[in-house]
Chain A
C-alpha cells in the first residue's frame, strides 16, 4: 500500500509539474503581454512600469524560480485581469463546473447502464441495434452544436427552458443533457462490451445453474465484475468533461463555470490566471484518477495496491 501511495503521488506530481511547466514555457515564449494590456497610446514609461510590476523584467530563470515556488505553494500571484489572487479566481467557478459535470455523468449513467445491460443480454436484437446506433450518433454529434440545436428547439421554439444563465432547475436541464450525450454514448458501449465479456464467463453459468434468478445473476455477479471497466470509463469521461467539453458547453449556455473562465483568461492573456486554472484542472484530474484506482477493490477484492 505504501509503495502504491508513493508511486501514485510521484506520478501525480510529474503530471501537475509537467502541465504547469508546459504552460509556463508557452506563456513566456510570446511577446510582452503589456502590449495588449495597455491602451495603444501608452508611453514608454508606463510600459516599463507595468512590465516591472508584473515581474516580466526579471530574467527567465528568476521568473521560473518565482513560478516554481508558486506552484509548490499553490500560489500563482495576482491575476492581471481581476486584480486578486489568481488561485482564488480559478477556484471560484470550480464547484459550478463540478456540479454540472456530476449531474451530466449521473444522467448518462442512469441511461447507459440499463441500456448497455439489456443490449448485452440480447445481442443483435432490435433494442441492441437501436442502442448501438443511437450511442454512435451521440458520440459523433459535436456537443456545442447539439447545445445550440436544443436551445433552438426547446427555448426559442417551445419556450420550455431558458436559453442561458443560471437559476432554478430549468436552467440546468439543457446544459446537463447536452453534456451528458457524449459520455452516454461511450459508457453505453463500454457497459455492453464489458457485460458481453462477463456473461460468457463460467461463474455466470454456475450462478444460473444453481437457480439464481436472472436478475441477480446479471446485477450482483456480472455487473459487479464489469464494474471496473465502467467506473474507469466514467471517471475518464468526467475528467474530459471538466477539462474539455465544459469549455464549449459553458460558452454556449453562458454559464459561470471554469470553462468560461478559461476562455476569458485566454482572451485577456492573463498568464497567472491561465497557470492557476491549468493547475487546478490538472489536480482535479489527478485526484479523479486516484479515486478510480482506489475504487477497484470494491469490485474485485483480489486487487491489491503495489
Chain B
C-alpha cells in the first residue's frame, strides 16, 4: 500500500505536462469553494437521478391521462387536484412528465454529442497530426459546414428521414462535429512538435497509436469542457426541434415537446409551458456554469478571461 503511494508521488513530475484533470481531490476542494459551480453540479445530479429514477419517483403515469381532471392548476398554486404541478390538456400529471421528459432530453443531448465528438475529434486529430492535404480537405469541410444554415438542414434531415429519436440524433450530430474537429486540431497543433511526440515517433510508435495514446489524453481535458457546452447546446436545439413538431413524437415526451403541445392551451393554463421551459433553461444554464468552472479548474491561467 505505502509502496504504491510512493510510486504515485514520484510519478507526479512525469505527469506535469499533463493537464491536472486527474487530481480529483484538488478539483473537489475547488468545487466547494466555488459556490455557483457547486450548486450547478448538485442541480445536474438531481436532474440526472430524477431522469434515471423517473419510473420510481413519478407520482403518476406520464402517458395515461384522466380526462375528468385535465388542465388542473398546480396544487402549489392553490389547485385541489393533488397534482403538484398540475395536469395537461389530456389530464396527465405534469411533474411525472417532466421526469420522463428529462430522461429523453438528457439522453438525446448526451448520445448526440458522443456521436459528434467521436467523429469531430477523430477528424480533428487526423487533420492536425497529418497536416498537408488531409488538413486542407478536412478543414475545408469544416468551414463549409460552418457556413451551412444548421437548423434548416436539421429540419430537412428529419423531414426526409421521418421524425424519430434516432433521426433527430443524426440530424443534430451532423451539425455538431465541426466544433470538435476545429478544437481538436488546434490543440494538436500545440502538441505535435513537442518532445513527447518526437520521442514516441523515435521509438517507432505507429501514427494512429500516437494520436490516440499520446495526443488524445493530453488534450482530453479541454475537449471535456467543450463536450459539456455542446450537450447544453444540443438540449436547446432538441427542445426547439421538438417544439416545432420535428423532433420527439408523442406518446414519448421531452421538455421541448411539452411546450409545443401546451402552446394551444397556455393562455388559460400557464403551467403547461412554464415548468418545462424552466427545466430547459436551468439545465442549460447549469451545464454552462459547470463547463465554465471546468475550464478554469483545468487551466487556472484562463481565470482572468472568463471571469
Whether B270 pairs with A152 at a CB distance below 8 angstroms is yes
Whether A145 pairs with B273 at a CB distance below 8 angstroms is yes
Nearest A residue to B155 by beta-carbon distance? A266
Contact of B281 among A27, A142, A247, A286 (CB under 8 A): A142
Whether B156 pairs with A278 at a CB distance below 8 angstroms is yes
How far is the CB of B225 from the nearest CB of chain A, in Å?
Answer: 15
Whether A282 pairs with B149 at a CB distance below 8 angstroms is yes
How far is the CB of B111 from the nearest CB of chain A, in Å?
Answer: 20
The reply on B205 being an interface residue by CB < 8 A is: no
Contact of A247 among B151, B160, B232 (CB under 8 A): B151
Whether B160 pairs with A26 at a CB distance below 8 angstroms is yes
The reply on B48 being an interface residue by CB < 8 A is: no
| Residues on B with beta carbons closer than 8 Å to the beta carbon of A286 | 147
Q: Which B residues from 254 to 273 make CB contacts under 8 A with A?
A: 256, 259, 263, 266-267, 270, 273
How far is the CB of A21 from the nearest CB of chain B, in Å?
Answer: 11
Whether B152 pairs with A247 at a CB distance below 8 angstroms is yes
| Residues on A with beta carbons closer than 8 Å to the beta carbon of B246 | 266
Whether A145 pairs with B266 at a CB distance below 8 angstroms is no
| Residues on B with beta carbons closer than 8 Å to the beta carbon of A128 | 307
| Residues on B with beta carbons closer than 8 Å to the beta carbon of A123 | 307
Whether B288 pairs with A266 at a CB distance below 8 angstroms is no
Whether A137 pairs with B240 at a CB distance below 8 angstroms is no
Nearest A residue to B276 by beta-carbon distance? A145
Whether A27 pairs with B149 at a CB distance below 8 angstroms is no
Whether B155 pairs with A145 at a CB distance below 8 angstroms is no
Whether A148 pairs with B273 at a CB distance below 8 angstroms is yes
Q: Which B residues from 271 to 290 make CB contacts under 8 A with A?
A: 273-274, 276-277, 280-281, 284-285, 288-289
Contact of B288 among A140, A262, A289 (CB under 8 A): A140
Interface string of A226-267 (1 = CB under 8 A from B): 000000000000010011110110010000000000110010
Whether A145 pairs with B281 at a CB distance below 8 angstroms is yes
- A140-B232 in contact given A145-B277, A266-B246, A269-B159 (Cβ < 8 Å): yes
Whether B153 pairs with A145 at a CB distance below 8 angstroms is no
How far is the CB of B109 from the nearest CB of chain A, in Å?
Answer: 13
The reply on A14 being an interface residue by CB < 8 A is: yes
Contact of B263 among A19, A148, A289 (CB under 8 A): A148
| Residues on A with beta carbons closer than 8 Å to the beta carbon of B240 | 142, 144, 247-248
Contact of B267 among A156, A244, A269, A274 (CB under 8 A): A156
Interface size class, chain A: 35 or more
The reply on A127 being an interface residue by CB < 8 A is: no
The reply on B217 being an interface residue by CB < 8 A is: no
Whether B149 pairs with A285 at a CB distance below 8 angstroms is yes
| Residues on A with beta carbons closer than 8 Å to the beta carbon of B236 | 140, 142
The reply on A79 being an interface residue by CB < 8 A is: no
Nearest A residue to B148 by beta-carbon distance? A19
How far is the CB of B172 from the nearest CB of chain A, in Å?
Answer: 13
Whether B288 pairs with A278 at a CB distance below 8 angstroms is no
| Residues on A with beta carbons closer than 8 Å to the beta carbon of B307 | 123-124, 128, 132
Whether B244 pairs with A263 at a CB distance below 8 angstroms is yes
Nearest B residue to A266 by beta-carbon distance? B159
Interface string of B118-131 (1 = CB under 8 A from A): 00000000000000
- A141-B243 in contact given A148-B273, A244-B149 (Cβ < 8 Å): no
Interface string of A277-299 (1 = CB under 8 A from B): 11001100110010000000000
Interface string of B224-267 (1 = CB under 8 A from A): 00000000100010011001101000000000100100010011
In angstroms, Cα B140 to Cα A11, docked, is 9
How far is the CB of B94 from the nearest CB of chain A, in Å?
Answer: 15
How far is the CB of B267 from the nearest CB of chain A, in Å?
Answer: 5
In angstroms, Cα B263 to Cα A261, docked, is 20
How far is the CB of B232 from the nearest CB of chain A, in Å?
Answer: 7
The reply on B305 being an interface residue by CB < 8 A is: yes
In angstroms, Cα B144 to Cα A145, docked, is 31
Nearest A residue to B289 by beta-carbon distance? A136
| Residues on A with beta carbons closer than 8 Å to the beta carbon of B191 | none
How far is the CB of A110 from the nearest CB of chain B, in Å?
Answer: 23
The reply on A85 being an interface residue by CB < 8 A is: no
| Residues on A with beta carbons closer than 8 Å to the beta carbon of B273 | 145, 148-149, 152
| Residues on A with beta carbons closer than 8 Å to the beta carbon of B267 | 152, 156
The reply on B150 being an interface residue by CB < 8 A is: yes
5 A–B pairs (Cβ distance < 8 Å), ordered by A: A18-B144, A27-B160, A149-B274, A248-B240, A263-B244
Among all A-B residue pairs, the 7 with the closest Cβ atoms? A243-B149, A145-B277, A244-B151, A140-B285, A140-B284, A26-B160, A15-B147
Residues of B within 8 A of A (CB): 143-144, 147-153, 155-157, 159-162, 232, 236, 239-240, 243-244, 246, 256, 259, 263, 266-267, 270, 273-274, 276-277, 280-281, 284-285, 288-289, 305, 307
Residues of A within 8 A of B (CB): 11, 14-15, 18-19, 22-23, 26-27, 29-30, 123-124, 128, 132, 136-137, 139-142, 144-145, 148-149, 152, 156, 193, 196, 239, 242-245, 247-248, 251, 262-263, 266, 269, 274, 277-278, 281-282, 285-286, 289
Given A11-B144, A263-B244, 12 more A-B residue pairs with CB atoms under 8 Å apart are A18-B148, A23-B156, A30-B160, A128-B307, A148-B263, A148-B266, A243-B149, A244-B150, A244-B152, A245-B151, A266-B156, A266-B159
